[in-house]
Amino acid sequence: MGVTEKVAQAVGRAPMIALLGNPNCGKTALFNRLTGARQKVANYAGVTIERKEGQFVSPAGNQFRVLDLPGAYSLSAHTPDEEITRDVVAGLRAGEGAPDLVVCVVDATNLRLNLRLVLEVQRLGLPMILCLNMVDVAKKRGIEIDADKLAQELRMTVVETVAVQGGGEKSLLRALDELGPLAPAAARPLAAIDAVSVEDTQREVRRILAVVAKNMHATDTRSEKIDSVVLHPVVGPAILAVLMFLIFQAVFSWAEAPMDMIEGAVGAFGGIVKEHMADGVLRSLLVEGIIAGVGGVLVFLPQILILFFFILVLEDCGYLPRAAFLLDRLMGGVGLSGRAFIPLLSSFACAIPGVMAARTIQNPRDRLVTIMIAPLMTCSARLPVYALVIAAFIPDRQVWGLFNLQGLVLFTLYFAGIFSAMGVAWFMKRSLGGKRKQPLMLELPSYHWPNLRNLAIGLWERAKIFLTRVGTLILSLMVILWALSSFPGAPEGATHPPIWYSFAGMIGRGLEFVFAPIGFNWQICIALVPGLAAREVAVGALGTVYALAQSGDDVASALAPMIASTWSMATALSLLAWYVFAPQCIATLSVVRRETGHTRYALLMAGYMFTLAYTASFLTYHIARLLGA
Ligand SMILES: Nc1nc2c(ncn2[C@@H]2O[C@H](COP(=O)(O)OP(=O)(O)OP(=O)(O)O)[C@@H](O)[C@H]2O)c(=O)[nH]1
Ligand SMILES: [Mg+2]
C-alpha cells in the first residue's frame, strides 16, 4: 500500500466534524484556518451555499475530517441551502451518516439569535462543542460572556475563537484533542427538534443569557453611525451610484499601464517567434493561433482584477447587504426581493455562482426569476469584449472635464444589462403571477475593515481562475479555431485571404446571412461560435481571425486598431449591444438546468436572450446608421 493510500485510509476513518451555525458567524473562516483551504469568506449572510469537505491533523496528531456548511437560522429549513445543512447534520444525505461531532459556531456579538440554533441542534443528541467566535469584536464592544458558565448551562464544551487571527483556532484544537475517541453517533430524528416549542426555546435562551452574559445589548455604535449616512433615503442611493461609477472609471484608467505592458510583452514574444521560426503551419499555429488568440484575452487580466478588487472590498467590509437594502424598493417595484441582490451581484463575476447563490431565496418564484435574469448581469467574461470594442471605437477623452468617456460607456453597458434584467423580471413576475412581495429580512452585519489577507487571496483566486481558463479552455478553443481557420487553404488564384476559404470562413459566411441585418461581418460571425463556450474567446477568436486574414508577411498588429479601421461605428455598437444580452454560454445553461431541475428553463433562457440580443443589436445598428455612424 502506498503512502497516499495509507493516508487516504486513515482519513477515511477519521472522525467527521460538521461546522454549523447561523449565517455570517465565521464558519468558513474557521474552516479555512483549520484546513488551510481558501474557501470564500465575506461579510454577509449566505456566502457558503454548498457542503465543503476538508481535513486536518490536530497538534496531538489526531486526524479529523471537517465539513463547512451553509449558514442556517434553524434546522427547519426554508431555503435550498439550509436544506443542505439540515440534511448533513441529521444524517439524511444518501451514503453519509450523521457527523461524529457538531461544532456549533456562534457569533459572540449576537448570542441571542445564535443560541436558538444551538438548542435546536442539541436536541439531535449528537456530540457537540460550542465555538464562541468573534470574541475579539465582542470584547471590544464590552460584551462579557462567561464561557465556563455557558458550558455548565449547555452541558457541553465551550471554546472561544477568533477565526480571522493566526492561532485564533487553538482553543478549539485543544478541545478536540481532549475529547478522546468518539463513539459512532446517530442523530435523533428531526422531529425531536419540534418537541420543544419556539416560545419555550426563546425562554430558555433568555434564561441562559441572564446567567452567562453581561452587557449583551452593547450595540455597535460605529456601524450605526455609518449606517445613518449609508442608509439615508437620499444620501444612501447617491453614495451607491457614485461608488459604482467610480469603479467603472477605475477599471479603465488604472488598467491602462499594466495592460500596455502585457500587450507589449505578447507582441514582442510573437515577434521573436516569427523571427526565429521558418514560415509554415507550426509558426502560424503559434503566432496567429495561440499568441494572437490567447494573448488577446490575457491582456484583460488587469481590468478583471481591478473590478474584483472593488467587489471584494465591498463584500468584506459589510456594504453589500446595505446595497441590497437600498435597492430593495427598486427591486420590489419589479417584483424581485432584495434577497436577489447578492445572487445578482455574484453574477457580475460569472452567472454560474450567481445562479447557485439563488439557493438562498426562499420563495420558489422569486428564485426562478432571479435565476432567469442572472446572466443579464455583465459577467467578467464579457468585460474583454466590451473593453476591446470600447478601446477601438470610443475616444479616450474627458467629458465635462470629469469623466473618462470610455469608462462612461462601460458604465452604460453594465447598466443596460441591469435595466433589462429589471424589465425581464417585471415581465416574468407578471406572467408567473404569485403572491405580493415579501418583506426583506436581511441581517446587516457590523462594518469592519477588509481583511488584507482575504483580499489578497480573493484576488489571487480570481487571477488563478482566469489564467486557468486562458491556459485550458481558451487555449484549446483557439487551437481548434486556428485549425478550422487555416484549412483547407486557399485555392489557385484566390482573391481573398486563405481564411475566407477555410472551414471557419465557410461557417462565418453561412452565419453572415443571419447576422448581416445587425451589421456583423463574417469575421465576427466566426468569433460568435466559440464565444458560446466562453465569451471572452470571442476576443481571442477575433485576434486569430484578423491575424490570419492579414495579407502577406505583416507582423500581426494589435487587434483594436485593426477592427477600428475595418468596422463601422454602427457595427461596433451593435456588437456591444449583442453582448449586453449575449445568448447564454453553455456552462450557464447547464447549471440553470441543474438548479431548476428542468431543461425547459434553460431553453427558455437561451431563447429569450437570443431574441433580446438580436432585437437590441438590430435597433442599435439601424439607429446608428441613420445617425450616420
Ligand atoms: N473580527 C472577526 N471577524 C471574523 C471572525 N470570524 C469571521 N469573521 C469575519 O466575519 C465575516 C463572515 O465570515 P464567514 O467565515 O464568511 O462566515 P460564515 O459563517 O461562513 O458565513 P455563511 O457562509 O454566509 O454562512 C467575514 O467578514 C470574516 O472576515 C472573528 O473571529 N473575528
Ligand atoms: Mg461560509
Instruction: Give the pLDDT confidence of 230-239 residue by residue, as tens digits.
Output: 999 899 999 9
Q: Are residues 473 and 582 in the same domain?
A: yes
The answer to whether position 228 is within a domain reads no
Cell (9 digits) for 426: 417585471
Q: Are residues 313 and 367 in the same domain?
A: yes
Residue 85: what pLDDT?
A: 92
pLDDT per residue as tens digits for the range 52-109: 999 999 999 999 999 999 999 988 878 888 999 999 998 888 788 889 999 999 999 9
Least confident stretch, 57-71, 391-405, 453-467, 581-595:
391-405
| Rounded average pLDDT over 474-484 | 84
As a whole number of angstroms, the distance between CA 588 and CA 586 comes to: 5
| Rounded average pLDDT over 548-561 | 60
> Does the pLDDT of residue 391 top 90, yes or no?
no
Whether residue 579 contacts residue 331, with contact meaning beta carbons closer than 8 Å, is answered with no
Cα 457 to ligand 2 centroid, rounded to whole Å:
16
Q: Are residues 379 and 481 in the same domain?
A: no
Q: Are residues 37 and 155 in the same domain?
A: yes
Residue 530: what pLDDT?
A: 82
Residue whose grid cell is 434553460: 602
**Of 218, 251, 266, which marks where a domain is finished?**
218
Residue 440: what pLDDT?
A: 67
Q: Are residues 203 and 265 in the same domain?
A: no
Q: Are residues 398 and 495 in the same domain?
A: no
> Does the pLDDT of residue 613 top 90, yes or no?
yes
| Rounded average pLDDT over 305-328 | 88
Query: Domains in the chain: how many in total?
Result: 3
Cell (9 digits) for 263: 500587450
Going by pLDDT thresholds of 50, 70 and 90, the confidence category of residue 313 is very high
The answer to whether position 190 is within a domain reads yes
- Report the half-sphere exposure of 207 (CA within 13 A, side-chain side): 9
Residue 390 CB partners (closer than 8 Å, separation 6+)? 252, 406, 409, 410, 576
As a whole number of angstroms, the distance between CA 426 and CA 432 comes to: 10
Distances (CA, A) of 361 to 441, 443, 613: 11, 14, 28
- 63-68 and 128-133 beta bridge pairing: unpaired
Cell (9 digits) for 193: 427538534
Average pLDDT of the residues of the chain? 85
The answer to whether position 67 is within a domain reads yes
| Rounded average pLDDT over 608-623 | 94
How far is Cα of residue 48 from the mean position of the Cα atoms in its chain?
11
Buried b vs exposed e over 86-114: b needs ≥16 C-beta within 10 Å? bbbbbbeeeeeebbbbbbbbbbbbbbeeb
Cα 483 to ligand 1 centroid, rounded to whole Å:
49
**Of 426, 453, 480, which marks where a domain is finished?**
453
> Does the pLDDT of residue 620 top 90, yes or no?
yes
Q: What is the CATH number of the domain that holds 69?
A: 3.40.50.300
For a ligand 1 pocket test, name from 19, 20, 22, 27 the mutation site with the most ligand atoms within 8 angstroms of its C-beta: 27
Q: Are residues 263 and 407 in the same domain?
A: yes
The answer to whether position 262 is within a domain reads yes
Residue 580: what pLDDT?
A: 92
Ligand 1: nearest atom to the Cα of 23: 25
The answer to whether position 374 is within a domain reads yes
The answer to whether position 1 is within a domain reads no
| Rounded average pLDDT over 266-292 | 84
Cα 445 to ligand 1 centroid, rounded to whole Å:
10
Where does residue 519 fall: left (phi above 0), alpha (psi -120 to 50 degrees), or beta otherwise? left
Residue 552: what pLDDT?
A: 46
Identify each DSSP E strand in 22-62 by its residue range. Answer: 52-57
Q: Are residues 211 and 349 in the same domain?
A: no
For a ligand 1 pocket test, name from 40, 47, 160, 453 the mutation site with the most ligand atoms within 8 angstroms of its C-beta: 47
**Of 397, 429, 453, which marks where a domain is finished?**
453
The answer to whether position 460 is within a domain reads no
ipTM of the complex: 0.99
Q: Are residues 130 and 252 in the same domain?
A: no
More confident residue, 371 or 346: 371
Q: Which ligand is nearest to the CA of 25?
A: 1
Cell (9 digits) for 368: 426562478
| Rounded average pLDDT over 481-501 | 78
Ligand 1: nearest atom to the Cα of 21: 19
pLDDT per residue as tens digits for the range 203-233: 999 999 998 888 877 777 889 999 999 999 8
pLDDT per residue as tens digits for the range 415-431: 899 899 999 998 988 88
Cα 105 to ligand 2 centroid, rounded to whole Å:
11
More confident residue, 133 or 9: 133
Q: Are residues 531 and 399 in the same domain?
A: no
Q: Are residues 576 and 438 in the same domain?
A: no
Going by pLDDT thresholds of 50, 70 and 90, the confidence category of residue 250 is confident
The answer to whether position 458 is within a domain reads no
Domain containing residue 494: 467-627
pLDDT per residue as tens digits for the range 590-608: 889 999 999 999 999 999 9
Q: Are residues 67 and 181 in the same domain?
A: yes
Cα 344 to ligand 1 centroid, rounded to whole Å:
21
Percent of the chain with pLDDT over 70: 95
Name the pTM for this structure: 0.82
Least confident stretch, 61-75, 96-110, 298-312, 480-494:
480-494
pLDDT per residue as tens digits for the range 155-189: 999 999 999 988 999 999 999 999 877 777 777 77
